Structure 1
Amino acid sequence: MFFLFCISVYFLGISNASAFSSNYTKYISYSDFGRGEPLVLLHAFPTDKNLWLPQHQGLKQYFRVISLDLWGFGYSEGTTGSAVTMEEYADEVAQLLDQLSIKKAIIGGTSMGGYIALAFLAKYPDRVNGLILSNSQAITDSPEMKKSANSLASDVLTDGTQKFANDFINKALSAEAPQQIRLFLQNILLDQTPFGLASALRGMSIRQDFSNVLATTSIPMLIITSDKDTVIPPQQSANMHALAKNSKLVVISDAGHLSNLEQPEQWNKAVIELFGQKAQA
């Protein structure tokens, strides 16, 4: 029932979305829900801020929940297909925080969003109150995976996003995911442009290894994985947990790669249990 409510919010267009631009920044589209400690959520490739609708609704009584469309996705400024690095996406997050007059926040990301959260921590450590890394990893891709990502970027620019979207849904969701979740994700994916996907694919392929960032920070960290994630295996989350000084590892049951979408109640509960009490204090 909770997810059906979130879908109705999506299709009825009921949101708290805003956008801004200035002489110094590109156009950024974002959503801002609730009150309390700021929690900034960074979406997975190749989605947009709507991926976080179950968190907008489920966490807004505990946090000020902010999500944004990364450049090239959703309604934020487009890209050309050239690489956008994780550090450049991190700069986008910093610009949004500046615009909202937020000095520090909990930064959370899933999959690619986790890479960006780590890049943000590395570049702006004094602006991070806590970190959430969901279905993500700290290491770089293998040479084979980097080559595959660049090849896929070229294919998307040539052939469009339809086939890629269908393939991604089958990989990212568990076999048991309900049809309404599949349709919800499909609608998000088909809203994206080939240029945005290509930029992110090329940017991810050149990302750095953030293992040292994990090993040297003492900020509270929630590391989330799921038992049916075949995109980034749970062992990668276990490895991050072993490296981090102050982390909690949570395994979401009955979910694939997008655990926040398939099992939002479990995902939200994990966030509330680690960060929610502080937020309400």
Structure 2
Amino acid sequence: MGTVYTVFSVLATLAGALLVVVLLLNRLAPLTAARLGMELERWRAGLRLKRVAVPGFVMPYLEGGRGTPLVLVHGFGGDKDNFTRIARYLTPHYHVVIPDLPGFGEATRDAAASYTIAEQVERLRAFLDQVAPGPVHLGGNSMGGFIAAQFAATYPQRVASLWLLDPAGTAAAQSSAVLERYRDTGDMPLLLRQPGDVQRLIASTTHREPFLPYCVRTWLGRRGAADLALHQRIMHQLTTAPLLEQQYRELAPPALIVWGQQDRILHPSGAAALGALFRRSRTILMPGIGHLPMLEAPRQSARDYLAFRRESAPA
């Protein structure tokens, strides 16, 4: 016991020292501080960074925990670290796998490639063939939820259950004022024309703003602005993709549908539309939460998911 205590004490000391370094570098060297801060959050969540290659792309991913695989897919403009904070409540229970989708995060960007929902589904399949080849529990937020639902429809034998957090993919969800304005004018807070637009992005996607230090906001703003041309193309492909209800009448996997009631990006009425599509589903509407429940309320979102998994487990 003494040895174990000593190891944990040393690790806690190192983590504390790293946090001090991050705070010192926050404004002096924001990109370095952001990288170190993300490493610290990954460590706290029990996640390790790995990479695999799929045709045309390298997909980095975070992995941690043991048990049945739980694969989490980020939304438009996001990356694997959108799930790092909630992962600390999940890795004690599951084998958590969180990839960067091609075109986002640290994954390969190919300006000549196409990034339709169907094509991202196939890239996710190629990724899972290597990392988790059997059935998985699959989750996704926003665009990632659309991809997860379509993956389940395309490869039902590969999906044990779904966790859909404010997902795109239905006419109701995509009837929000933000998307109506995008269709009319091309203006969209998820598309960063300059690094400072990150403040608008955060305000539009969250109701309960998570703590994001200056260094992380700076890093996200610079990356988003650099990706503008590519992400404009991907946004067009996302918003013109065939909707789930246009393709399927009923989907079989048990699904937990979660929606922030203050979501301004995708309309909360999408929850009912998905509930009609998934014959075995449970819906949770979260008051005071916006588009990113896993960042705004990670502990509660994880508790709700753990309860769903207990309730939907085979007798």
TM category (shorter chain) comes to 0.7 to 0.9
Distance change >3 Å, CA 19–CA 179, structure 1 → 2: closer
Counterpart check, 1:236 vs 2:264: no
Counterpart check, 1:171 vs 2:199: no
Please give the secondary structure, in 2, of the residue aligned with 1:41.
strand
Superimposed CA distance per residue, residues 224-266 of structure 1 (whole angstroms, 9 cap, x where no aligned partner): 0112212222221122113321000012232111111000011
Matches within 5 A, 1:1-281: 10=38, 12=40, 14=43, 15-21=47-53, 24-80=55-111, 83-140=114-171, 141=174, 147-148=183-184, 151-152=186-187, 160-174=193-207, 176-180=208-212, 184=216, 187-188=219-220, 190-192=222-224, 193-211=227-245, 215-276=249-310
Following superposition, the deviation at residue 166 of structure 1 comes to 2.8
| Structure-2 separation of matches of 1:265 and 1:189 | 27
| Structure-2 separation of matches of 1:190 and 1:148 | 26
Paired residues of 1:72 and 1:195 also in contact (CA < 8 A): no
Following superposition, the deviation at residue 183 of structure 1 comes to 7.0
| Structure-1 separation of matches of 2:300 and 2:180 | 34
For the pair shown, which has the larger CA radius of gyration, 1 or 2? 2
Q: Which amino acid aligns with 1:80?
A: A
Following superposition, the deviation at residue 53 of structure 1 comes to 0.5
Unaligned runs of at least 5 residues, structure 2: 1-18, 20-33
- What is the total number of aligned residue pairs between the two structures? 270
Distance change >3 Å, CA 123–CA 9, structure 1 → 2: same
Larger RCO of the pair (alpha carbons < 8 Å, separation 6+): 1
Identity of aligned residues (%): 23
**RMSD (CA atoms):** 3.2
| Structure-2 separation of matches of 1:236 and 1:278 | 22
Paired residues of 2:206 and 2:292 also in contact (CA < 8 A): yes
Q: Which amino acid aligns with 2:49?
A: A
More moved, 135-144 vs 199-208: 135-144
Following superposition, the deviation at residue 196 of structure 1 comes to 4.2
| Structure-2 separation of matches of 1:162 and 1:272 | 37
Following superposition, the deviation at residue 54 of structure 1 comes to 1.5
| TM-score (norm: length of structure 1) | 0.83
Please give the secondary structure, in 2, of the residue aligned with 1:95.
helix
2:14 paired residue number? none
| Structure-2 separation of matches of 1:173 and 1:183 | 19
Q: Which amino acid aligns with 2:165?
A: S
Following superposition, the deviation at residue 93 of structure 1 comes to 1.1
| Structure-2 separation of matches of 1:239 and 1:268 | 23
Please give the secondary structure, in 2, of the residue aligned with 1:121.
helix
Q: Which amino acid aligns with 1:267?
A: S
Paired residues of 2:253 and 2:278 also in contact (CA < 8 A): no
2:7 paired residue number? none
Unaligned runs of at least 5 residues, structure 1: none
Distance change >3 Å, CA 206–CA 145, structure 1 → 2: farther
| Structure-2 separation of matches of 1:189 and 1:42 | 21
